[in-house]
């Protein structure tokens, strides 16, 4: 694959981006998202292979039936047309998004961020060459420049752009909500929660919160808030605080949570409502104590962004209440929120995680880049 054959060049261009970002004092999470190495390039190549091997979504007859007058109706999957993707510092989005768009029969317009410009330019060139070699029309993958005017033109190009997927934070979302005239699916922020129920296996709970918070803190499915049932707070929170601190996590705790931490909470800062509403994307966590699974659900629905939440419990009733009561794309029982990912879900690469309810929710996969056309065949039917 060209991506691997040209890995030296790609990593060299990326290193320039990374160096410039470091010089500009970019936050560690941003640099983590930007960085490419052999392992990540291999992961990108694997994602393309997985997408290539997926069944072609175009032409699939989703459903078909005959109505009493004899008309035959086939709901058939067709490409959306032209898809725009706006993304920030993760260069793997370039190849993931291009692979998904081409596999689903769409053209794609990519608009990366300035911080990853060199990486994206070479990745775009590698993709374009590979596609030209395979006979895909030129222009099927287009890379926009990084100034805001081009982005504004794209998000107002009604009738020429069929869908824009912004992958970014709340600021980008607010900008598009205000300015976009084309259809948009928000792949927005993830203020994800882990709730440790009174009946939780506390070893599992510890492993899950440490994993969800620290395994890759810069991504949207990382946990940002830990909620603990009051009945197990005094037993669990000292262990959790110690383990998280050990991993370098800064803890911001409610009064009750801080008190339950005992000695481990001595230097812990008090959490504000704003902390509970924040997607830190860093080694920071907000910690609260709740009296019931219902209070946990209310907290999640109030502060969450509708992305991914987990309950750790041995109670079937608590698991069911949480899964049905929480209004988020992905609701986990006894697993880390980090699994919200097209690859982990077995969908191949994803083009983002949708936190909206329309068209696509959760990992945006291949089928979500298509629409339905009704093909209706008759023998002269009239009403």
Determine the Cα–Cα distance for residues 119 and 352; give it in Å rounded to an integer. Answer: 19
Residue from 88, 96, 162, 275 in contact with a copy of itself (CB under 8 A): 162
Using CB under 8 A as the binding rule, whether residue 80 contacts a copy of itself is answered as yes
Give CA–CA dist 361/37, Å, rounded: 30
Q: Which one of the spans 131-139, 147-155, 248-256, 328-336 is the region binding a copy of itself (CB under 8 A)? A: 328-336
CB-wise, 56 or 344, nearer to a copy of itself? 344
Candidates 304, 338, 355, 364: give the one binding a copy of itself (CB under 8 A).
Answer: 338
- Smallest distance, a copy of itself to C-beta of residue 121, A: 30
Backbone φ/ψ region at 59: left (φ over 0), alpha (ψ -120 to 50), beta: left
User: β-pairing, 82-87 with 163-167?
Assistant: parallel
| All residues at 6 or more sequence positions from 367 whose CB lies less than 8 Å from its CB, including other chains | 57, 77, 104
Give the residue with the Cβ less far from a copy of itself, 204 or 295.
Answer: 204
Among the listed residues 43, 81, 169, 238, the single contact to a copy of itself using CB under 8 A: 81
Q: Is 376 in the site for a copy of itself (CB under 8 A)?
A: yes
CB atoms within 10 A of CB 374: 9
- Residue 381 CA to residue 373 CA, distance in Å, equals 20
Among residues 106 and 120, whose Cβ is nearest to a copy of itself?
Answer: 106
Return the number of the residue (3 or 330) whose C-beta is nearest a copy of itself.
330
Q: Which of 142, 245, 292, 323 binds a copy of itself (CB under 8 A)?
A: 323
Of 140-148, 178-186, 187-195, 226-234, the window that binds a copy of itself (rule: CB under 8 A) is 178-186
Shortest separation between residue 380's beta carbon and a copy of itself, angstroms: 4
Q: How far is CA 149 from CA 93, 152, 372, in A?
A: 21, 5, 32
Q: How far apart are CA 208 and CA 194, in angstroms?
A: 8
Nearest Cα neighbor of 195 from 281, 340, 315 is 315
Binding mask 196-225 for a copy of itself (x = CB under 8 A): -----x--x--xx--xx--x----------
* 383/380 Cα distance (integer angstroms): 10
Q: Which of 48, 54, 329, 351 binds a copy of itself (CB under 8 A)?
A: 329
Select the span of 4-12, 139-147, 273-281, 344-352 touching a copy of itself (CB under 8 A): 344-352
Among 73, 136, 157, 234, binds a copy of itself (CB under 8 A): 73
When asked if residue 366 is in the footprint of a copy of itself (CB under 8 A), the reply is no
| Helix boundaries (H) for 27-116 | 28-34, 38-53, 92-103
- CB of 276 within 8 A of CB of 259? no
Cα–Cα distance for residue pair 330/323, rounded to 1 Å: 9
**Residue 45 or 333 having the CB closest to a copy of itself:** 333
Judged on CB neighbours under 10 Å (0-12, 13-18, 19+), 126 is buried
- Quick one: angle between helices 117-133 and 92-103, nearest 10? 30
If one asks whether residue 332 binds a copy of itself (CB under 8 A), the answer comes out as yes
Cβ contact 342:334 at 8 Å: no
The stretch near a copy of itself (CB under 8 A) out of 42-50, 269-277, 279-287, 356-364 is 356-364
Among 12, 129, 152, 177, binds a copy of itself (CB under 8 A): 177
Q: What would the x/- binding string for a copy of itself be over residues 46 to 65, using CB under 8 A?
A: -------------------x
Q: Which positions ≥6 away from 280 have C-beta within 8 Å?
A: 217, 224
Number of residues binding to a copy of itself, judged by CB under 8 A: 58
Where do contacts with a copy of itself occur on this chain (CB under 8 A)?
Answer: 65, 67, 71, 73, 80-81, 158, 162-163, 177-178, 181, 183, 185, 201, 204, 207-208, 211-212, 215, 319, 323, 327-336, 338-340, 344-346, 356-359, 361-362, 371-383
């Amino acid at each position: 694959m060209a991506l691997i054959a040209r890995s030296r060049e790609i990593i060299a261009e990326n290193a320039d981006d990374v160096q410039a970002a470091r010089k500009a004092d970019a936050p560690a999470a941003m640099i983590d998202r930007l960085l490419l190495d052999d392992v990540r390039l291999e992961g990108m190549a694997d994602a393309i292979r997985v997408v290539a091997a997926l069944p072609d979504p175009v032409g699939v007859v989703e459903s078909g039936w005959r109505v009493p007058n004899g008309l035959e109706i086939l709901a058939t999957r067709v490409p959306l047309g032209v898809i725009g993707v706006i993304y920030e510092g993760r260069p793997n989005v370039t190849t993931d998004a291009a692979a998904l768009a081409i596999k689903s029969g769409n053209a794609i317009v990519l608009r990366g961020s300035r911080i990853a410009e060199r990486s994206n330019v070479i990745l775009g060139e590698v993709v374009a060459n590979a596609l030209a070699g395979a006979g895909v029309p030129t222009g099927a993958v287009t890379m926009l420049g990084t100034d805001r005017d081009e982005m504004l033109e794209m998000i107002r190009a009604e009738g020429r752009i069929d869908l824009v997927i912004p992958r970014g934070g709340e600021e980008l979302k607010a900008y598009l909500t205000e300015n976009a005239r084309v259809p948009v699916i928000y792949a927005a922020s993830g203020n994800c929660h882990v709730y440790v129920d009174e009946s939780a296996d506390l070893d599992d709970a510890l492993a899950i919160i440490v994993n969800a918070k620290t395994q890759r803190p810069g991504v949207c499915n990382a946990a940002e808030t830990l909620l603990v049932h009051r009945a197990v707070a005094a037993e669990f929170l000292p262990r959790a605080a110690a383990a998280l601190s050990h991993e370098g996590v800064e803890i911001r705790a409610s009064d009750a949570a801080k008190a339950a931490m005992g000695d481990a909470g001595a230097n812990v800062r008090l959490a504000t409502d704003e902390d509970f509403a924040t997607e830190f994307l860093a080694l920071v966590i907000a910690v609260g104590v709740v009296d019931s699974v219902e209070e946990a659900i209310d907290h999640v629905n109030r502060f969450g962004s509708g992305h991914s939440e987990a309950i750790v419990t041995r109670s079937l009733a608590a698991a069911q209440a949480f899964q049905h009561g929480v209004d988020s794309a992905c609701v986990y029982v006894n697993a880390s929120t980090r699994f919200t990912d097209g690859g982990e879900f077995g969908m191949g690469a994803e083009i983002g995680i949708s936190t909206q309810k329309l068209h696509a929710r959760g990992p945006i996969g291949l089928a979500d880049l298509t629409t339905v056309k009704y093909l209706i065949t008759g023998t002269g039917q009239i009403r």
